[in-house]
């Protein structure tokens, strides 16, 4: 399974590198999304909307980073006691 997963990860990393959004473009997209929800600029609800979008984006990045980790590197060590037969 490891051999088939590696090319997929490499391809997805390359594909994600192709799409780059500047912070200004991201802010404009977020503002447009909040306006589409009916919020108007320069009020607390609009600011909360922007904040929630950013928090959701950060949570998604954390989730993706956790999913990309090698489970063998981060496995919880277990102690196994083996008794020798006499």
pLDDT tens track for 33-72: 999 999 999 999 999 999 999 999 999 988 887 777 766 6
- Give the residue numbers spanning the domain of 60: 21-68
- Domain membership of residue 79 (yes or no) is no
- Domain membership of residue 3 (yes or no) is no
d(CA 7, CA 13): 10
- Domain membership of residue 46 (yes or no) is yes
Number of domains in the chain: 1
- Domain membership of residue 78 (yes or no) is no
Angle between helical axes of 44-68 and 23-36 (0-180°, round to 10): 120
Q: What is the structure's pLDDT at 20?
A: 86
- Domain membership of residue 8 (yes or no) is no
The model carries a pTM of 0.57
d(CA 5, CA 23): 31
- Domain membership of residue 73 (yes or no) is no
- Domain membership of residue 85 (yes or no) is no
CA 34 to chain centroid, in Å, comes to: 21
């Amino acid at each position: 399974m490891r051999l088939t997963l590696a090319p997929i990860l490499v391809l997805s990393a390359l594909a994600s590198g192709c799409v780059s959004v500047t912070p200004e473009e991201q802010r404009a997209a977020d503002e447009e999304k909040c306006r589409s929800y009916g919020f108007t600029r320069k009020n607390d609800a609009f600011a909360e909307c922007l904040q929630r979008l950013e928090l959701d984006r950060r949570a998604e990045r954390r989730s993706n980073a956790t999913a990309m980790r090698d489970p063998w590197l981060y496995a919880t060590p277990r102690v196994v006691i083996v008794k020798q037969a006499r």
